[in-house]
């Protein structure tokens, strides 16, 4: 692990022992592998996991005391583990925000309770402990360059001393060494796929930058020159003895605001070197971080470079060449390049060539962009649409009409410009040819420049055109690349309300792709858009102007809210209460973007809480009865997302939302609306109180009708809702009587993973009724469920295993049925090796039912069920513990299995289960211990681990099954003790 962190991980600083781990795909992959290793160690190697570190790993944590539970002592801001070292020091200590951990066991448990923060905790731990092996084993095992003899010395010590602790150290260092190799191999694979520079790419970039360099104030650089004019046959300018290090050439760059920079361009990237020495020699040593190209390097070094690049009428583009080298092309404004724009100078052939040339440069180009921003939508459709549009090169008469108008838009006084803009609006701007004509003639750049003038009429005219043409994918990208969004964001502060509205509506159109949304946020646009929602009194007649401004602001926020970071920005800017206020109005034009924004944001837990606490559920329910289907759809979608929380489900019922949802199920023509409504019904049905209401509204019958001839997104929700409705016995009968079981079973052959999960749950829920089970069996439903255990998706495996439990329990001849599946028993036993907790719990539950048949129990015993169940005994999950104990209890009924569980060390961990706070775990564990206590060796193990004291407390339980099992186990232990005394003393 030390070598991998030193050599492969990407740090923000080059010096040893400093800097932080950069958030890169490579680092994320390394962190995830380290987390998995730590989590698995406690189950795979419990002895090594319990080893106490030489010194604690110490770091500043983001976790607070509230996340710690059983096994920890909490005192205000201090948490310490009940587990302690030999010197009585806690193995985990949290004081204020400083965390100290002294064993892998505690590290593993900490990662489990950190849940979504585990990546951040692992990162913080490794940043604070750059060579963790030193803290774990001691300074003699630190990471060194060259030959490392520490393992050999340790091996010699093991041979001489025969010390158990030294042997454990040996095993730990071997495990860590194995992890190190795994991390290094993983990083090597990823690094080998990275884009590498070559001489042609560097030369293209240098030539491009030279075109923009010179003495003028607005040039990007003063100068940029190679240090050598000699070019070798391979295109490199570096001397041969430096080419072996991957170096291509050396450049001297003079920015406007810094001293000259001497840089090295190599296959690995661009970096600052030591500069030119006396004569023509160069100090080749790297003096900076590595950058992917010259432009990226200059962006970090020269603010003036960044500023002047933004002013250029040229846009840098990056060619996604198949050979993975960088190329740049330029799109030049005709006016700037001195080309004539007189309409009479254009022949049709010449115009076509120019139009085609401009389109080609767009088609082969992708803007420099940071693709790291998270988004809630994929942009594949956007890219494909881009490509489709670029292939369409047919030019219509409208195209030439706009060509002629271009001259008057570009030149002349404000009045002439406004007239030209009005004339341009007379064209059908919704037509693709007109949209591309505006781009190809250079008018798009002029329209954006007009936004930066002081003439309100010119600004408004320009925005009215941009609002229309920005419906086009190509135009959206071009507007963003030409800096149009930045100016529009500034216009949101304009005192002219009409101008603000137009700017917001145009932003709403442009911000439909990730980079545009990011630009709006970075330029302060989110706060300004939220500000447009402010008004004195919602709904007053004299506030109609305010309402229109709010509508436009909500439209833009709706587009922006598809980004996770923008959702947070809207919340921080105070958008939630303002959206809540507008939700109370009756104007559908405002309600649609407001609800659209809310349903987009409802994927975040903080928004779901706010929607509930701000009283918005009542208004969402109210608008389900609107006559506008789009509004109904967005309201249902918002309820779908918010109803993950029980409190929200209760509010939907209390405000009368279940009946309109049931009514809307009848609109099967509008598939988008149907998907949203069925989703809302599904999530609301999680609460049993809501299921009773749905029964009254005949919702179950309607859902059964929707099980056929529907899109997958609808089917997923319908089958999910039916599965939840099966909580009531009467609904299970209703589904059968309505003929719902055959289409349910048929869905078990689907390919969509989410659909398979919900279908398995629904079939399993129906199988509780014996009459339903007969139909499922006759349709080969159990075989289909068993085949889903082979599915690679753990969620599908778990749902199939849960569904098999009632099927086995309620089938007429379940033992024979299970044996009829060739290889089925071996398959379910193998799933005990899964890493997924839900799979393990469900498989243990299935084994409990399988083991009730003696013959099947003998078969799974032969397949090694006992050691696999024993291996799981150290789990800390109460859900697994409960079903595991039940499985062990039933597996004890066969042959020598009781003895085998003792030999595979399953007894002692089971005793610890009695300390759990879950009563169902107590019951299952007591039954398992009772069965195991029939073997004398197991009784001794239980007694040694203090089982009697724990069971005595449970003998007085009100749960008769627990009471009987506890008493039986104590009786067996007592009988053994008496027999031992009799044998000893006669």
CA pair distance 978, 986, nearest whole angstrom: 11
pLDDT in tens, 277-292: 766 678 888 888 888 8
Q: What is the dihedral of CA 79, 85, 87, 90, to 10 degrees?
A: 0
Is pTM beyond 0.75? Reply is no
Q: Lowest-confidence range among 182-186, 469-473, 692-696?
A: 182-186
The secondary element (H helix, E strand) that includes residue 624 is: none
Give the pLDDT confidence of 201-230 residue by residue, as tens digits.
899 889 888 888 888 878 889 999 999 888
Please report how the helices 575-582 and 544-560 are oriented relative to each other, as an axis angle in degrees rounded to 10.
130
Tokens representing residue 596 in the block: 């659209």
Residue 556 Ramachandran class (φ > 0 left, ψ -120 to 50 alpha, else beta)? alpha
Provide φ and ψ at 728, rounded to 5°: -95, 135
DSSP 344: G
Is the pLDDT at 397 greater than 80, yes or no? no
Q: Does pLDDT of 50 surpass 70?
A: yes
Rounded to 5 degrees, φ, ψ at 393 are -110, 10
Q: Does residue 151 carry a pLDDT above 70?
A: no
| Span 725-746, average pLDDT | 92
* DSSP secondary structure, 304-328, as one string: HHHHHHHH-S---EE---TT-----
Phi-psi region at 710: left, alpha or beta (left = phi > 0; alpha = psi -120 to 50): beta
Instruction: Answer yes or no: is pLDDT of 860 > 70.
Output: yes
Looking at residue 347, what is its pLDDT? 33
670 pLDDT higher than 50: yes
pLDDT at 248 over 90: yes
Which residues, in sequence order, are CB contacts of 875 under 8 Å at separation 6+? 43, 837, 840, 881, 884
Task: Name the range with the highest mean pLDDT among 69-73, 147-151, 412-416.
Answer: 69-73
C-beta of residue 951 within 8 angstroms of C-beta of residue 940:
no
Percent of the chain with pLDDT over 70: 83
**4: pLDDT confidence band, cut at 50, 70 and 90?**
low
Q: Which residue has the tokens 């649409």?
A: 385
User: In this predicted structure, which of 302-311, 405-414, 568-577 has the lowest mean pLDDT?
Assistant: 405-414
Asked if pLDDT for residue 928 goes beyond 90, the answer is yes
pLDDT band at 191 (very low <50, low <70, confident <90, very high): low
* Residue that wins the pLDDT comparison between 306 and 593: 593
Residue 867 has pLDDT above 70, yes or no: yes
- pLDDT of 746 higher than 90: yes
pLDDT in tens, 894-921: 878 999 999 999 999 999 999 888 899 9
pLDDT beyond 80 at 349 = no
Angle of the 794-810 helix axis to the 770-778 helix axis, nearest 10 = 120
Provide the 8-state DSSP code for 708: S
Q: What was the pLDDT predicted at 309? A: 82
Average pLDDT of the chain, as a whole number: 82
* Residue indicated by tokens 């987009």: 600
SS3 for 40-98, per residue? HHHHHCHHHHCCEEEEEEEEECCCCHHHCCCCEEEECCEEEECCECCCCCECEEEECCE
Q: What is the pLDDT of residue 457?
A: 87
Give the integer Cα–Cα distance in Å for 910 and 906: 7
């Amino acid at each position: 692990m030390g070598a991998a962190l030193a050599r492969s991980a990407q740090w923000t600083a080059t010096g040893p022992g400093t800097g932080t781990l950069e958030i890169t795909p490579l680092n994320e992959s390394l962190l995830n592998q380290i987390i998995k290793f730590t989590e698995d160690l406690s189950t795979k190697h419990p002895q090594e996991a319990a080893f106490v570190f030489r010194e604690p790993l110490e770091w500043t944590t983001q976790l607070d005391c509230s996340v710690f539970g059983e096994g920890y002592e909490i005192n205000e801001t201090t948490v310490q583990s009940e587990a302690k070292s030999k010197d009585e020091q806690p193995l985990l200590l949290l004081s204020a925000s400083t965390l100290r951990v002294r064993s892998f066991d505690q590290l593993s448990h900490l990662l489990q309770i950190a849940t979504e923060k585990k990546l951040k905790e692992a990162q913080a731990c490794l940043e604070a402990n750059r060579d963790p092996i030193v803290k774990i084993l001691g300074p003699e095992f630190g990471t060194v360059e060259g030959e490392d003899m520490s393992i050999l010395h340790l091996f010699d010590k093991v041979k001489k001393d025969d010390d158990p602790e030294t042997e454990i150290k040996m095993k730990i260092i071997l495990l860590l060494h194995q992890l190190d190799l795994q991390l290094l191999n993983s990083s090597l694979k990823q690094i080998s796929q990275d884009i590498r520079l070559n001489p042609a790419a560097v030369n293209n970039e240098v030539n491009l930058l030279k075109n923009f360099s010179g003495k003028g104030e607005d040039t990007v650089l003063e100068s940029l020159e190679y240090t050598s004019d000699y070019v070798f046959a391979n295109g490199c300018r570096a001397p041969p003895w430096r080419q072996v290090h991957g170096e291509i050439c050396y450049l001297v760059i003079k920015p406007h605001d810094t001293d000259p920079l001497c840089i090295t361009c190599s296959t690995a990237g661009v970096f600052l070197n030591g500069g030119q020495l006396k004569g023509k020699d160069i100090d080749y040593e790297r003096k900076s971080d590595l950058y992917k190209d010259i432009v990226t390097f200059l962006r970090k070094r020269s603010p003036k470079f960044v500023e002047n690049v933004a002013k250029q009428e040229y846009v840098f583009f990056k060619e996604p060449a198949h050979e993975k080298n960088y190329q740049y092309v330029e799109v030049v404004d005709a006016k700037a390049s001195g080309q004539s724009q007189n309409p009479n100078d254009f022949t049709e052939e010449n115009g076509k060539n120019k139009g085609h040339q401009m389109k080609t440069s767009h088609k082969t180009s992708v803007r420099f962009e940071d693709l790291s921003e998270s988004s809630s939508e994929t942009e594949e459709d956007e890219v494909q649409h881009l490509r489709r549009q670029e292939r369409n090169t047919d030019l219509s008469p409208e195209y030439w009409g706009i060509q002629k108008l271009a001259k008057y838009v570009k030149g002349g006084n404000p009045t002439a410009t406004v007239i030209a803009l009005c004339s341009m609006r007379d064209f059908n701007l919704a037509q693709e040819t007109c949209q591309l004509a505006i781009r190809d003639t250079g008018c798009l750049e002029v329209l954006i420049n007009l936004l930066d003038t002081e003439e309100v009429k010119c600004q408004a005219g320009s925005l009215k055109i941009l609002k229309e043409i920005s419906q086009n994918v190509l135009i959206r990208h071009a507007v963003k690349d030409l800096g149009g969004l930045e100016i529009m964001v500034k216009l949101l502060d304009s005192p002219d309300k009409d101008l603000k509205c137009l700017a917001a509506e145009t932003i709403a159109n442009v911000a439909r792709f990730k980079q545009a949304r990011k630009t709006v946020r970075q330029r302060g646009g989110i706060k300004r858009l939220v500000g447009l929602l402010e008004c004195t009194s919602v709904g007053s007649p004299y506030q109609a102007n305010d309402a229109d401004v709010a509508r436009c602001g909500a439209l833009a926020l709706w587009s922006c809210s598809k980004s996770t970071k923008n959702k947070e920005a809207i919340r921080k800017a105070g958008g939630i209460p303002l959206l809540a206020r507008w939700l109370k109005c009756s104007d559908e034009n405002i309600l649609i973007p407001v609800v659209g924004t809310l349903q987009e944001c409802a994927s975040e837990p903080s928004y779901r809480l706010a929607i509930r606490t701000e009283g918005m559920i009542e208004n969402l329910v109210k608008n389900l009865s609107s006559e506008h289907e789009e509004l109904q759809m967005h309201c249902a979608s918002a309820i779908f997302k918010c109803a993950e929380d029980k409190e929200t489900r209760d509010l939907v019922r209390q405000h009368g939302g279940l009946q309109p949802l049931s009514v809307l199920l009848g609109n099967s023509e509008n598939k988008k609306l149907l998907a949203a409504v069925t989703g809302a019904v599904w999530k609301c049905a999680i609460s049993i109180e809501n299921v009773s209401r749905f029964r009254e509204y005949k919702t179950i019958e309607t859902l059964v009708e929707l099980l056929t001839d529907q899109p997958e997104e609808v089917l997923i929700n319908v089958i999910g809702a039916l599965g939840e409705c099966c909580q009531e016995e009467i609904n299970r009968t209703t589904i059968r009587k309505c003929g719902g079981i055959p289409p349910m079973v048929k869905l078990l052959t689907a390919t969509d993973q989410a659909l398979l999960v919900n279908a398995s749950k629904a079939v399993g829920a129906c199988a509780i009724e014996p009459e339903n089970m007969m139909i499922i069996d006759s349709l080969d439903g159990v075989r289909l469920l068993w085949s889903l255990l082979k599915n690679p998706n753990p969620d599908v495996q778990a749902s199939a295993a849960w569904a098999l439990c009632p099927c086995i329990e309620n089938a007429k001849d379940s033992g024979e049925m299970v044996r009829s599946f060739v290889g089925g028993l071996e398959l379910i036993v193998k799933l005990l090796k899964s890493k997924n907790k839900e799979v393990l719990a469900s498989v243990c539950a299935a084994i409990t039912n399988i083991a009730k048949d003696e013959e099947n129990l003998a078969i799974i015993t032969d397949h090694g069920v006992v050691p696999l169940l024993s291996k799981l005994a150290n789990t800390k999950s109460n859900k697994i513990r409960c079903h595991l104990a039940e499985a062990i209890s039933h597996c004890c009924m066969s042959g020598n299995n009781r003895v085998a569980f003792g030999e595979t060390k399953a007894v002692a961990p089971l005793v610890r289960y009695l300390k759990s706070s879950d009563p169902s775990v107590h019951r299952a564990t007591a039954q398992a211990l009772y069965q195991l206590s029939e073997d004398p060796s197991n009784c001794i193990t239980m007694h040694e681990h203090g089982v009697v004291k724990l069971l005595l407390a449970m003998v007085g339980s009100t749960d008769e099954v627990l009471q009987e099992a506890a008493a039986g186990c104590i009786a067996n232990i007592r009988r053994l003790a008496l027999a031992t005394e009799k044998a000893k003393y006669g």
